[in-house]
Copies of this chain bind each other. A is one copy, B any other.
Amino acid sequence: MPWRIHKKRHLTSFQVIILGFAGVILFGALILMLPISSAQGIITPFHKALFTSTSAVCVTGLVVLDTGSYWSVFGQTVIMFLIQIGGLGVITTATSVFILSGRKISIMQRSTMQNAISAPKVGGIVRLMSFILKGTLLIELIGALFMIPVFCHDFGLRGIWMSIFHSVSAFCNAGFDLLGTKWHPFVSLTSYAVNPVINIVIMLLIIIGGIGFFTWEDIYLHKFHFKHYHMQSKVILTTTLCLILLPAVFFFFQDYGNLSGIHRLLASLFQAVTPRTAGFNTTDLSMLTGASKAMMILLMLIGGSPSSTAGGMKTTTFALLLLNVLATFQSCDDVTAFGRRIDTSVIKNATTIAMMYFILFFAGGMTISVYEGLPLSSCLFEAASAVGTVGLTLGITPKLHILSQIILIILMYLGRVGGLTLIYAVFSDKNKRKARLPLDKIIVG
């Protein structure tokens, strides 16, 4: 069929990612529908399986069925693999499939991929892939080993399985957990709120997973010589540090006056780490004050770093928007960071991405609130959680009607593939240039 081959050749990398993602989600949903996937051996309705699969592949963690009690170990394993595929990300997964299938990667494809992930000095795409895969498995293994003593003490041999699942879920910033039971579903990590081992291991996994593969490479190559890192890694590490410490101080004073000493410190730190974009919780979120919920929404929308397992509009986007404000106030034409100039087109992309996330978040939250008649603050929280692929919830998701769940599915999907595909779309269609229109003035502000 020559038509088909012709068609295949002309799929852009952009389309490969969009379709590949959708394919994995659909495939996952179909497997999760099978009786073998549920603990009770029943067929799961399509829309609930689709919601779970989307949530796993988009590493969100919002659930309509309690992961620990509803799904069988087979179902949980499927979810874990979906999380792993989603967490490694579209580019990495696509490249893996290419390499594993023995297909030759053209220079054009290599160049598009390197452009898209902004890796100017990485030797080959194969070496890079191997570094990412080995790093991921190693870190997840170490994380699991640290958690085994605690979980095996509480759950016997099942503790091994729980350690592996939670290590993968934390590293991939997925936020799925197996701690719910028939009698206490959707509990997340609240029973381990004061356990330092689980808290610290999970936090480290989240942070390492969330800073991105290229930041790992910089740390791996240059160790502690911060000034030798790429500008992007410097921006990511500085922004990440600020976005953990400042909110932690806020939560420490605003919310946890009833906790003492080390527990207050742990709870505040965990609360600051988890919304960007892990989605576990150790304390009851509905008890937070309005200001704290708004702070969480902001952190959820910002999310993790690019080329990582995390979602959201990304730390770099947020940092560039602030640097742009700084540049304007200093009357600088150029936005700069760590002695490097940032191209104007990147600022424009950052603005687009921030606007896109804001519009999705606002429109989604408003629609759900109006449709369900629920308080706006809860619906905005849930929408931010979906579009930032966070998975924190004030408890309303399992009770929503199908239409609202479909909105959340769309938000999760766009939230995960949105930013990346945008860049792809721009990179892939450069030949669509038209004659430039005449310049005209317009006043803003």
Query: Which residue of B has the minimal Cβ distance to A441?
Result: B118
Min CB gap A306→B, angstroms: 4
In the complex, chain B residues whose CB is within 8 Å of the CB of A359 = 325
A384 to B202, CA, bound (A): 38
A422 to B430, CA, bound (A): 34
In the complex, chain B residues whose CB is within 8 Å of the CB of A345 = 333
In the complex, chain B residues whose CB is within 8 Å of the CB of A254 = 370
Known contacts being A231-B440, A331-B425, is A366 close to B294, with CB within 8 Å?
Answer: yes
**Is A362 part of the binding interface, using a Cβ–Cβ cutoff of 8 Å?**
yes
**Binary per-residue interface labels of chain A (252-275) against chain B in the complex, 1 for a CB within 8 Å, 0 otherwise:** 001000000000000000000000
**Copies of this chain held together in the complex:** 2
Q: Which of B437, B443, B444 contacts A117 (CB 8 A)?
A: B443
Query: Which residue of B has the minimal Cβ distance to A306?
Result: B443
In the complex, chain B residues whose CB is within 8 Å of the CB of A235 = 442
A120 to B438, CA, bound (A): 15
A325 to B429, CA, bound (A): 16
Please classify the interface of chain A as helix (H, G, I), strand (E, B), loop, or mixed, using the class held by over half of its residues: helix
**Binary per-residue interface labels of chain A (104-142) against chain B in the complex, 1 for a CB within 8 Å, 0 otherwise:** 000000000000011010000000000000000000000
In the complex, chain B residues whose CB is within 8 Å of the CB of A344 = 344, 348
Q: Which of B327, B418, B439 contacts A341 (CB 8 A)?
A: B439
**Is A376 part of the binding interface, using a Cβ–Cβ cutoff of 8 Å?**
yes
In the complex, chain B residues whose CB is within 8 Å of the CB of A355 = 321-322, 324-325
Cβ contact within 8 Å between B346 and A442: yes
**Binary per-residue interface labels of chain A (335-355) against chain B in the complex, 1 for a CB within 8 Å, 0 otherwise:** 111011111111111111101
Min CB gap A406→B, angstroms: 19
A348 to B342, CA, bound (A): 12
Cβ contact within 8 Å between B420 and A445: yes
**B-facing residues in A220-235 (Cβ within 8 Å):** 230-232, 235
**B-facing residues in A311-327 (Cβ within 8 Å):** 313-314, 316-317, 320-322, 324-325, 327
A340 to B437, CA, bound (A): 5
In the complex, chain B residues whose CB is within 8 Å of the CB of A419 = 444-445
Cβ contact within 8 Å between B324 and A351: yes
Cβ contact within 8 Å between B295 and A341: no
**Is A191 part of the binding interface, using a Cβ–Cβ cutoff of 8 Å?**
no
A295 to B366, CA, bound (A): 9
Q: Which of B334, B370, B440 contacts A340 (CB 8 A)?
A: B440
Query: Which residue of B has the minimal Cβ distance to A119?
Result: B441
Chain A residues near B (Cβ < 8 Å):
117-118, 120, 230-232, 235, 254, 289-291, 293-295, 298, 306-307, 313-314, 316-317, 320-322, 324-325, 327-329, 331-337, 339-353, 355-356, 359, 362, 366, 369-370, 375-377, 380, 418-420, 422-423, 425-426, 428-430, 432-434, 436-445
10 A-B residue pairs with CB within 8 Å:
A291-B369, A294-B376, A320-B442, A321-B351, A321-B355, A341-B437, A341-B440, A346-B444, A376-B377, A418-B445
Given contacts A118-B443, A341-B437, A342-B440, 7 further A-B contacts (CB under 8 A): A118-B442, A313-B444, A333-B433, A339-B437, A339-B438, A347-B351, A349-B445
